[in-house]
Amino acid sequence: MPRLCLLIVSIAAFITCAHAEEHIETMIVTASRLPMPLDHVAGSVSVINAREIDVSSSIVISDLLRTIPGLSISQSGGLGTTTQVRTRGGEANQTLVLIDGIEANDPAIGSEFDFAHLLTRGIEQIEVLRGPQSSLWGSDALGGVISVTTKRPTGPLRIDALAEGGSFATRTASIGLGAAQERYSFAVHGSYLDTDGTNIAQQGTEDDGYDNATLSLTADFTPFDRMSMDMAYRHVRANTEFDPAPFPDFVPVDGDRKSQITQDYARVTLRWETHPWTHSLEASLLDTENKNFADGTRSSTTEGERKKLTYQLSRKLTTRNSDHTLVFALEHEIEDFGQRGNASAFGDPNQKQSATSTGAIGEYRVILGDALFLSFAGRFDDNDEFGNAHSWRITAARELDAANVRIHANVGTGTKNPTFIERFGFTPDTFIGNPALDPESSLGAEAGIRKGFLDGGGSADLTVFYERLDDEIDGFFFDPGSGGFTAVNRDDKSRRRGLELSFLLEPVPSVVVRGGYAFVDATQSGADGKSAREIRRPRHSGYVTLLLSVLDDRLDLYTSYSHVGARIDDDFATFPATRVELDDYALVRIAASYAVSERISLFARVENALDQDYQDVFGFDTPGFGAYAGIRVNTLGK
C-alpha cells in the first residue's frame, strides 16, 4: 500500500489551504424506511453523486463501486461477464440492490444481482450502506444495501444525448429527455452499448463480445395537495458471449457460448396524508429471463419473478427539544423460479418453484437536542416454505460540536433465506437440493468516529466492525450417501471483522477528493477444522479519487486509483479444490470533459492506465489498457 498512502498524503497536502463553501444537503434512502439527511445517519454509508458519475465517464456501475471502502468486486472477464459485489466479506447474495426502490436481486441466479448489466447513463446517485440491514429491508440485506437512483428532472424540457467510441471496438450511445412542472415530472432515458470485447481465456485468441440496450422511465404526479403518485420502470436486454470452462481444468477455453438476458423492473407508489399520518401503498415487480446457448443451440433457460406489495404508515412529531419519526410497514412478497432445458443422463433440469413471505416492520427514530441521533428497528418475516425469521437494529450517533467530532455506533442482526437453487438444485437429479435448509442469520456491530476539519470542507471517518454468521449455507457439500453435491447449513460460524478508513475533502466546489482504505478479515472453518480465509475477499484494499474543475468550470478532470490486495480463490482442477492466491493489482482511471459551448462538450477517458494484467476470478483474464472519447449535447447548456 505504499503508493496509495503517498498519493493520499500528497493530495491532502495540496488542498488543505483552501476554504469550504456551503453544500447542498444529501438525502439517503436506505438508512431508514423514510429518506433522511446524510448527517443524521448513524451507520456506515458512502455516496457517489451525479457529478462524479458523469465526469468519470464510467460505463458500468461496478467500476465506480471500486471506490467504496469494504466492497470487493469479482468480474469474470470484460464487459458483460458475471460481476459480483461483496460487502465486508459477505457473500454476493447477501447485499440487497435497489434500483429506484425496486428490489433487483434475481431469484433465477441465486438471489444475487449481476452488476455486469447496470449501466451508468442516466444515474443520479449511488449509495452504499454497510452492515446488517435486514430489519428494514429483509432477507437479501444481511450484509448491506446498494441503492441506485435514476435522474429526475427539475425544470423545463431538457434533452441530453451522448455518443462514444474507443478500444475493443466499443461503441455507446444514449439519449434522455425530461421535464418538471409544479404538479408533475417525467424522464425517459435510453442507452446502448456494443463491444467486440476481449479474450477472457488464457489460451486462444477469440474475443467475447457484449451488447446492452437499457430503457428507463420515471414519472410523478400530484393531483391533490395531500396525494401524490410516482412510478419507475426499467428494461434491460443484453447479449454476452463467454467461453466454457470444461473438465478437467475448469478454466475458460475458446468456445461458442452466449447468454441472452432480459430484465424488467417496475414500481408504482401512491402516497396520501390523513393528518398527522402519512400513508403509502406500493406495488413492485421484477421479471427476468436468462437464456443460455451452446454452439448456436439453446441449452437452458432460467426465469425469476418477484411480486411485492407494501403498505407503510408513518408519522413525524416535533417537541420542544426533540424530533420523532414512527414507521410501520407490512410487506407481502411472492417469488417464482423456473428452469427449462433438455433432459439428459445428467438429469432433468425442468422445474418451477414458488415461495411466499409476509413481513412486518417497525422503526422509531429520534433526534434529541440536535446532537443525539437514535433509531430502533425490528422486523418479523413469516415464510411459507422454511423457518420464520426476525431481525433488529439499534443505531446511535452523537455530535460533539466543540471538537467537530461525531461518534457513531450500531448493532443489529440479519437474515438470508435459502435460495431456490440451494433448495432445489440446478438440475434436481445432479445437484441435490435441500428443501429443509434454514435461513442464515448474523449478528453485526460497528463503532466509529468522524472528525471534521477545513471549516466543514473536509472529514475523515474511522469505523471498526465485527459480524458473525450462523447457519451458513454450504452450497458445495458432497453427500457420500447419494454420491452427489447438495447444500447444508454449516454447524460452525463464519466471522468477518475489520476496519474502514475514509475521507472526503471538498474545500471549494471545484475540488473534490475522496479516499479510503479497508481491512477485511473474512474467515470460516476449513475441512481440517482450522480457520480459513473466504475466497475472493482481499484483506487490504484502498482507493483515491480526484475531481477537479478549472477554466471557469469548463474543464472537468477526474482520476481514480484503486488498489486491490491479494485474494484467495479455488482451483477446481483437483478434488477437493486447491487454494490459489491471486496477485494484488492497481487500477488507474483518468477522464476529462471540456465544454466547447453551453450545449456541447467533449470527453475522453483512459481505463487501466497502467495496463495491469490481473484476475478477479481464477482463470478469467480481464481487459488491459483502453482509451475512449465522445461527445455530449444538451438543449439547455451545462
Name the E strands within 389-493.
Answer: 389-400, 405-416, 431-432, 440-453, 458-470, 473-479, 484-489
Instruction: Find all residues with CB under 8 Å of 292, minimum gap 6, and list them.
Output: 257, 258, 259, 298, 299, 300, 301
Between vectors from CA 95 to CA 91 and to CA 99, what angle results, nearest 5°? 145
pLDDT of residue 348: 80
Is it the case that residue 440 has pLDDT exceeding 50?
A: yes
Grid cell digits, residue 377: 428497528
Q: Could you give the CA distance from residue 195 to residue 623 in angstroms, rounded to a whole number?
A: 12
pLDDT of residue 528: 65
Grid cell digits, residue 54: 458523469
pLDDT of residue 324: 96
pLDDT of residue 15: 37
Is it the case that residue 430 has pLDDT exceeding 90?
A: no
pLDDT tier, 19 (very low <50, low <70, confident <90, very high otherwise):
very low
Which residue in the block uniquely carries the three cell numbers 452492515? 131
Q: Could you give the CA distance from residue 357 to residue 386 in angstroms, rounded to a whole number?
A: 10
Rounded to the nearest angstrom, the gap between the alpha carbon of residue 469 and the centroid of all alpha carbons in its chain is 21
First-residue to last-residue Cα distance in the chain: 38
Give the mean model confidence (pLDDT) for residues 508-528.
89
Which residue in the block uniquely carries the three cell numbers 477437493? 576
Q: Could you give the CA distance from residue 171 to residue 421 in angstroms, rounded to a whole number?
A: 36
Name the E strands within 551-584.
Answer: 555-564, 567-571, 578-582
Q: Could you give the CA distance from residue 551 to residue 459 in angstroms, rounded to a whole number?
A: 27
Bridge partners, residue 323, by sequence: 318, 367
pLDDT of residue 477: 85
Q: Does 368 map to a domain?
A: yes
Grid cell digits, residue 424: 432445489
Name the E strands within 509-554.
Answer: 511-525, 531-533, 540-550
Amino acid identity for residue 163 in this structure: A
pLDDT of residue 428: 60
pLDDT of residue 454: 83
Is it the case that residue 18 has pLDDT exceeding 50?
A: no
Using a pLDDT cut of 70, give the percent of the chain over it. 94
Q: Does 318 map to a domain?
A: yes
Grid cell digits, residue 371: 446532537
Q: Does 192 map to a domain?
A: no
pLDDT tier, 370 (very low <50, low <70, confident <90, very high otherwise):
confident
Amino acid identity for residue 285 in this structure: L
Q: Does 83 map to a domain?
A: yes
Judge whether 282 and 268 are in contact, CB under 8 Å. yes
Sign of CA dihedral 99, 102, 107, 111: positive
Can you give the residue range of the structural domain that contains 98?
2-6+12-164+207-634
Q: Does 184 map to a domain?
A: no
Is it the case that residue 587 has pLDDT exceeding 90?
A: yes
Is it the case that residue 96 has pLDDT exceeding 60?
A: yes
Q: Does 289 map to a domain?
A: yes
If you count them, how many residues does the chain have? 638
Q: Which range among 70-84, 325-339, 376-390, 578-592 shows the weakest confidence by mean pLDDT?
A: 376-390
Is it the case that residue 24 has pLDDT exceeding 90?
A: no
Give the mean model confidence (pLDDT) for residues 110-131.
96
pLDDT tens, residue by residue, 155-171: 899 999 999 999 999 99
Question: Greatest CA separation found in the chain?
Answer: 73
Q: Does 185 map to a domain?
A: no
pLDDT tier, 480 (very low <50, low <70, confident <90, very high otherwise):
confident
Q: Could you give the CA distance from residue 361 to residue 369 in angstroms, rounded to a whole number?
A: 27
Give the mean model confidence (pLDDT) for residues 232-255.
92
Is it the case that residue 513 has pLDDT exceeding 50?
A: yes
pLDDT of residue 638: 42
Is it the case that residue 210 has pLDDT exceeding 80?
A: yes
Is it the case that residue 349 has pLDDT exceeding 90?
A: no
pLDDT of residue 566: 96
Grid cell digits, residue 278: 402519512
Q: Is 550 exposed, middle or buried (0-12, 13-18, 19+ CB in 10 A)?
A: exposed
Is it the case that residue 346 has pLDDT exceeding 50?
A: yes
pLDDT tens, residue by residue, 36-84: 998 899 989 999 999 999 999 999 999 999 999 999 999 999 999 999 9
What's the order of all strands across the beta sheet hosting 431-432?
431-432, 484-489, 473-479
pLDDT of residue 479: 78
Q: Could you give the CA distance from residue 439 to residue 92 in angstroms, rounded to a whole number?
A: 16
Q: Which range among 72-76, 187-191, 383-387, 591-595 shows the weakest confidence by mean pLDDT?
A: 383-387
Give the mean model confidence (pLDDT) for residues 81-109.
96
pLDDT of residue 336: 97
Q: Does 431 map to a domain?
A: yes
Is it the case that residue 20 has pLDDT exceeding 80?
A: no
Instruction: Find all residues with CB under 8 Å of 569, minimum gap 6, and list them.
Output: 535, 536, 579, 580, 581, 582, 617, 618
Q: What is the CATH number of the domain that holds 552?
A: 2.40.170.20
pLDDT of residue 32: 94
Per the structure, the count of domains in the chain is 1
Give the mean model confidence (pLDDT) for residues 493-513.
93
pLDDT tens, residue by residue, 388-397: 899 999 999 9
